[in-house]
Amino acid sequence: MLVKTFGSAVYGIEAITISIEVNVTLGTNTFMVGLPDNAVRESMLRVESAIKSNGYFMPRTKVIISLAPADIRKSGSAFDLPIAIGILAATDQLVNIASLNHYVLMGELGLTGSIQPIRGALPIALTTLRESFRGLVLPETNANEAAVVNGLDVFGVNHLNEVVRLLEKPSESTPIHLSTLDVFLNAQQENVPDFQDVKGQEHIKRALEIAAAGGHNAILIGPPGSGKTMLAKRLPSILPPLSLEEALETTRVHSVAGKLPDHSSLVSKRPFRNPHHTISHMAMAGGGSMPQPGEISLAHNGVLFLDELPEFNRTVLEVMRQPMEERRLTISRARMSLEFPASFMLIASMNPCPCGYFNHPLKSCCCPPGAVLKYLNKISGPLMDRIDLHVEVTPVAFGDLQTAKQQESSGTVRQRVIAARQLQAKRFSSFNGIYCNAQMTNQLLKEVCELDNLSLQLVKKAMETLSLSARAYERILKVSRTIADLEGKEKIYPEHLAEAIQYRSLDRETWGR
């Protein structure tokens, strides 16, 4: 007897519906075709144990299992459930075969028939709805994540017997329905460190406010103990909240990577990724035989913080260059090319030299001649060019540490950042995919960053004096546009440009001489 069930395979952050055809006929042995990987092939052992453990029988005749489309490689253990249901239906142990046409089934089976969590529930649910299936059956752990897709019946199950009962009598099962908007609005925001706890360092706070307002990349450079990491970890507290569209897109990436907490529905706050400097280039960019998102994509719509930047392997840093410009990452394999979103803010920190005390107001640098430039040369010029704000961090004075003066809270700064982002959203409303100044194209720069003669002369002198590149010139214009937005000004004035230019003071040609 031949029956068909439906599953889904995740490629990148998209899902493709897979047809699982099971044919039980005369003969011996079990055959699985359709480019299954080892995890899919091993499913037969799990399926047989689950079927027998629950009082069903496993056929001893010839069983052919076909996964279509046959030219796409299938990976993972989530096909256990549709294969098991297909075998039960093909051997007349499931009576209501017609119901199989209306549901997508996904789940890994335990040896006793328990159903284990899967990855990629959200993109699977979106594809299930788009292809007009009635419902999606998947592990209960993943049900809330899939249920944020409105208009789709989602059934969370814990055991093979529950799936059999659901398919035999669909009307007696109650689907999980959630309001995407309600889930988003009621999402609990985690407490994050506040700028109010930081004494002094007003110029660093100002730089991070500009970075947050325009979505700019920034690097903090200063001696050990000056507060670089502490300040960077407080950046999320002043970023604008995620929009619903951003939350859904971010959740898709984390769902595919298996990074969502159990029973969670949406990523409710901007990601803050802080990988260790021993990370490999594949873990940073993503990859594998079946490519998975890396740290770059996991930081999508959030912050990627690289502490002690020169300690990272150079190849790891270089893989970020293309995503930082294009805000997406393409991973190519012989049979496929997958694209992952990668719109993130890069915040980096580093010491100014190997000993850490170059330019320190009190301690002397003990590095030999040329060591400072050699240390900085660990970071390529093209990568440094892509960082908008170069900020020198100095140690906090003892008087600032002991001051009783109330520091400005993150909430106050965040309101200014949100106001600036609203101006940018209005400005770029007719340009799809552009939401902040850091994302402006060259054509947009000409339209929204017009300079008067005095401003042009100022920029010209800065480029000649600091030996800045054309990309650095674009970065100066974008940062000055953000500074003007923070002040609510329609035009860019020389004082905005002057502040933006001083954030290029750490360029290779001027630092370490």
pLDDT of residue 281: 92
Strand order in the sheet with 218-221: 272-273, 303-306, 345-350, 218-221, 389-392
Average pLDDT value for residue range 257-277: 89
pLDDT digits (tens, 9 = 90+) for 37-66: 998 999 999 999 999 999 999 998 999 999
pLDDT digits (tens, 9 = 90+) for 406-460: 788 999 999 999 999 999 999 998 888 788 999 998 888 888 888 889 999 998 8
Average pLDDT value for residue range 206-219: 95
pLDDT at 365 over 90: no
pLDDT at 510 over 60: no
Tell me how far apart the alpha carbons of residues 390 and 448 are, in angstroms, rounded to a whole number: 23
Q: Say which residue, 510 or 95, is predicted with more confidence.
A: 95
pLDDT at 397 over 90: no
Choice among 202-206, 276-280, 506-510 with the minimum mean pLDDT: 506-510
Q: Check residue 301 and give left, alpha or beta (phi > 0: left; psi -120 to 50: alpha).
A: left
pLDDT digits (tens, 9 = 90+) for 2-30: 999 999 999 889 999 999 999 999 888 89
The strand ranges marked E within 110-265 are 115-116, 135-139, 153-157, 218-221
What is 81-96 written as a DSSP string? HHHHHHHHHHTTS---
Domains and CATH numbers, the chain: 2-178 (3.30.230.10), 195-432 (3.40.50.300)
CB 366 within 8 A of CB 358: no
Handedness of CA 254, 231, 220, 475 (dihedral sign): positive
Q: Say which residue, 444 or 188, is predicted with more confidence.
A: 444
Tell me how far apart the alpha carbons of residues 463 and 468 are, in angstroms, rounded to a whole number: 5
Residue 15: Cβ within 10 Å count: 26
pLDDT of residue 399: 64
- 3-state DSSP assignment of residue 207: helix
Record the pTM.
0.89
Average pLDDT value for residue range 130-158: 94
Residue 340: Cβ within 10 Å count: 25
How many Å separate Cα 178 from the centre of its chain?
24
pLDDT digits (tens, 9 = 90+) for 275-325: 999 999 999 998 877 788 999 999 999 999 999 999 999 999 999 998 998
pLDDT at 190 over 70: no
Query: What's the burial of 467, exposed, middle or buried (CB within 10 Å: 0-12/13-18/19+)?
Result: exposed
Residue % of the chain over a pLDDT of 90: 58
Tell me how far apart the alpha carbons of residues 462 and 481 are, in angstroms, rounded to a whole number: 17
Residue % of the chain over a pLDDT of 70: 96
Average pLDDT value for residue range 334-353: 89
Tell me how far apart the alpha carbons of residues 331 and 333 are, in angstroms, rounded to a whole number: 7
